[in-house]
Amino acid sequence: MGKVRHTSRWPQFLQRIGCAGIAVLFIVTAWAADAPEVPVTAYLGGSVLDATGDRFVGDAALLVRGERIVEVGREGVVAIPKGADVVRLDGRFVVPGLINSHVHLATLANPREARAYLRRELYSGVTAVRDMAGDARLLGELKREAAFDEIVAPDVYYAALMAGPSFFADPRSHDASRGIEPGAAPWMRAITAATDVPLAVAEARGTGATGIKLYADLPAASVRAVVAEAHRQHLLVWAHAAVFPASPAEVGAAGVDVMSHASFLAYQGLDPMPQSYAAMKQVDLSTRHLTPAIETVLETMRDRGVVLDATLDVEFHIANPKWPPALAVEITRAAYRHGVAISAGTDDDADWTDPDSDLLVEISRLVQDVGMSPADALRSATVVGARTIGEQNSMGALEPGRLADFVVLAGGPLRRISELRSVVEVVKHGIRHPRADYHPVTGDSMRKSAPE
């Protein structure tokens, strides 16, 4: 009986796979060879704010490849790639792009006005904004357009609002969810003891929101439940400093990421605590504003890393009969003294009529009224602002690997904070936007066509 020959097909199969793999590798290699290289721009000779934010490094070289910073150092030390586009910045100052941590783009959704406002913000040096409640249908559209640089605009991060049912008598909530029953929209949600909080948070997340905003009319137990679930689902939580009836102390202890409006901290220790936003009382101005109870809240915020979104300037030009502008200043000054991280936000609607961002006024108030150093005030609009939107690893400082979002200034803002107005050029995602290209939108142009 002859030998049985076992013929395996594996060698032939592997050979075919190997040949196919070589062919694929050849195609990919050829494609990579033909693919255009990501352009590099070398910004040379300027003074670049270092990572500490306390000083400028002169004769600097800042290399940008695509939308990212790849190297920062001294000119003459940093190797400039062959073929790089060289931009001379001699005599100029470079700071990280500013972040406006409190805007309202879409309370009453008007795409044309929102885009005009965003365009103005970008040319003022603002490369990211945090929208604090509006119509998510428009906000999601603006976020996508800004992310892909389809419009001249800062990057947009926005909130989905949650509040007690009684809050939704507020006409602003109706404007921001037109066509949907007030309190039923995923981005304008009424929360009760019967609410399925995990589902409500998941639906909010599905709108594209970066965070949940806790507005008003919620007890402490509901605040804690939403915070815990939002964090579990990897959403930030942004809250008013008082969510009536939840007190500032209860809001801070719940572990929120940001507390808005310094004036609201004045309600800590008030007996009885107002049970709703509509029931807010006038602060008793006959007593000293800064009480031990408020200072305890500030200590909790510092220890837990809660950011104070102070919103000072809006208090000066929109009078509130319940408290004077000086109250917000006094509490913010105490927060600064206690070491609380303070962000810079304007709390303004999409008003495009001013040629410069209100954020520049807010930052100046942090210096002139609160007493912050120019370096710390600038950090409020950069490093701390990046924390408010969860982008502390990609924005807020000029370091390799971060987004190429920065502002070129004619003067140094660490000496005079007003030099933030001396914008020469804004770079966002590595794309240059010379201030000379900016033309303020007019009412006539708004009526004729959408802004660029």
Q: Which long-range contacts (CB under 8 A, 24 or more apart) does 166-169 make?
A: 166/217, 166/276, 166/278, 167/215, 167/216, 167/217, 167/276, 167/277, 169/278
Q: What is the pTM of this model?
A: 0.90
Distance, CA of 376 to chain centre: 17
Cβ–Cβ < 8 Å for 344, 366: yes
Give percent helix, percent strand, percent coil of the chain, each to the nearest 5: 35, 20, 40
pLDDT reported for residue 448: 62
CATH class of 97-399: alpha beta
Model confidence pLDDT, tens digit, residues 227-246: 999 999 999 999 999 999 99
Task: Provide the b/e sequence for 409-448 (b: ≥16 CB within 10 Å).
Answer: bebbbbeebebbbbbbbbbbbbebbebeebeebeeeebee
Q: Indicate the burial class of 18 (C-beta count within 10 angstroms; 0-12, 13-18, 19 or more).
A: exposed
Average pLDDT, stretch 312-337? 89
Please name the amino acid found at residue 390.
G
List beta partners, residue 98.
126
pLDDT at 1 over 50: no
Average pLDDT for the chain: 90
Cβ–Cβ < 8 Å for 349, 110: no
pLDDT at 362 over 70: yes
List beta partners, residue 162.
189, 214
Which residues lie closer than 8 Å to 268 by C-beta, 6 or more apart?
242, 247, 248, 249, 291, 293, 294, 296, 297
Give the pair of three-digit tokens for residue 42: 């070398």
Model confidence pLDDT, tens digit, residues 400-436: 999 999 999 999 999 999 999 999 999 999 999 999 9
Give the pair of three-digit tokens for residue 95: 């700071």
d(CA 343, CA 320): 22
Give the pair of three-digit tokens for residue 112: 């044309």
pLDDT reported for residue 124: 98
pLDDT at 15 over 90: no
What are the CA-CA distances from residue 301 to residues 130, 216, 340 (Å)? 20, 19, 6
3-state secondary structure of 427: strand
Selection from 89, 38, 36 nearest residue 429 by Cα: 38
Model confidence pLDDT, tens digit, residues 166-225: 999 999 999 999 999 999 999 999 999 999 999 999 999 999 999 999 999 999 999 999
